[in-house]
Amino acid sequence: MRTYEVRTYGCQMNVHDSERLRGLLEDAGYVRAPEGDQADVVVFNTCAVRENADNKLYGNLGHLAPVKAKTPGMQIAVGGCLAQKDKASITKKAPWVDVVFGTHNIGSLPVLLERARVQEESQVEILESLEVFPSTLPTRRESPYSAWVSISVGCNNTCTFCIVPSLRGREKDRRPGDVLAEVEALVAEGVLEVTLLGQNVNSYGVEFGDRYAFGKLLRACGSIDGLERVRFTSPHPRDFTADVIEAMAETPNVMPSLHMPLQSGSDRVLKAMRRSYRRDRYLKIIEDVRAAMPDAAITTDIIVGFPGETEEDFQGTLDVVRQARFAGAFTFQYSKRPGTPAESMDDQVPRDVVQDRYERLVALQDEMAWEENKKIVGRSLEVLVAEGEGRKDAATHRLSGRARDNRLVHFALPGGVEAPRPGDVATVEVTYGAPHHLVADVFGSVRRTRAGDAWERAQESPPDAGTPGVMLGMPTIGAKPLEPAVGGCQIG
């Protein structure tokens, strides 16, 4: 049997796409290469958002060129956002690449690989618009207990720092019945937790004319028996409405966690970014969420050093961080993205200034997160146990998992207690709060779950040569053709 490896770069959407790629390859008869072994087929699922993303790709391709030359039958495929952007230039720069495919046609990968093998020449297929939701494709999930569920693809926003609008397409929404059918199928497989995924989940429903569709979808998830945790990413402050906050607060299995991208605390910079909200609107959302869910953990995205950002603008960002008291933040130093409006803006901020501001932002955010985590000491939390070993020190063996508010918890396992399985739920008491995690040295109890059973079965009967996954075929859910599309955006 031919083996495969998928290397993923970028956002949650790419992670989810890679699950589809693995499912397609296994459906076509490939098996996952054991860790450390050279795969017969190496697939790069690329991102075009980060600075020097192309250099990273071509560096990795260069490392594989001599390997391929010594390995008869080996194939290399490049997909994702960078493939969509660069198209045929990839095979010109790296002629040893066998297949190039775009964001809209991941389902073509097995056919393209076979065609390249038979014809002994590179195959490039880049569709300019999405034809069928990728959720109709088979999936090899990494986790038996947690899953992504795509509710929409593409985005109608035009943020000046983001290239992805031209790569992912305009927003296309799945019908609620299709989404719920996929969630129900996942729960039947043993999944306890789903994350509803979209470039802008709050605008879900725009295509079929229901501006309250996302709140209704959250409430509908609350009626699915066996579904214990519902999360979503990413919302957009412009479209975040009171009905969504009410749905979160009133639906028990919707978790008290929210990722709300800020990007900047300066109204002037937000306008230049073409972010259609201002700081007061943003802070009012945070206030309303905390009024409805006092224990909600709120995280964010922040860009430092956007063109034209002054020290006064940056101080505005720090002020919002102090007021919002985020549980965590993904912080980024602005860098030019070819093809974005911001690339040609005047007043690019010097790199040393950007670095200085970045360090000050990270220090403040760590301080805020640490203070918030200290407030949780002494509380009892339900932790969904995660895959893999937790932290170890000289005296204590720890496992790890996520609390309901999505905080990372490292918890002690007393001697003589049977270790909970990934997917089981442990009740623990927090004894220490660090900036980026919680420590629980007081162990309460374990609830064995169907998800833990599914993980255990996967260990006993691994489906392929590599890390166990879960295969889910969804041949009919959401399988409607889509209208042609142009545009799209990164999550966040």
From the list 292, 366, 359, the residue with the least C-alpha distance to 325 is: 366
From the list 408, 409, 262, 405, the residue with the least C-alpha distance to 329 is: 262
User: Would you report the helix, strand and coil content of the chain in percent, each value rounded to 5?
Assistant: 35, 20, 40
Q: What is the DSSP letter of 258?
A: E
Tokens 């959401």 found at: 478
From the list 49, 86, 55, the residue with the least C-alpha distance to 342 is: 49
**Burial profile 259-270: b = 16 or more Cβ within 10 angstroms, e = fewer:** bbbbbbbbbebb
Do residues 179 and 230 make contact, with C-beta atoms less than 8 angstroms apart? no
Q: What is the DSSP letter of 492?
A: -
256 phi and psi angles, rounded to 5 deg: -80, 60
Q: Is 11 annotated as a binding residue?
A: yes
Do residues 446 and 422 make contact, with C-beta atoms less than 8 angstroms apart? no
For 129-165, give the DSSP string. S--B-GGGS-EEES-SSEEEEE-EE------TT--TH
Q: Is 221 annotated as a binding residue?
A: no
Sign of CA dihedral 76, 77, 82, 85: positive
In whole angstroms, give the CA distance from residue 479 to residue 174. 9
Structure tokens at 80: 């994702």
Q: Is 47 annotated as a binding residue?
A: yes
Binding residues for [4Fe-4S] cluster: 11, 47, 81, 155, 159, 162
Binding residues: 11, 47, 81, 155, 159, 162
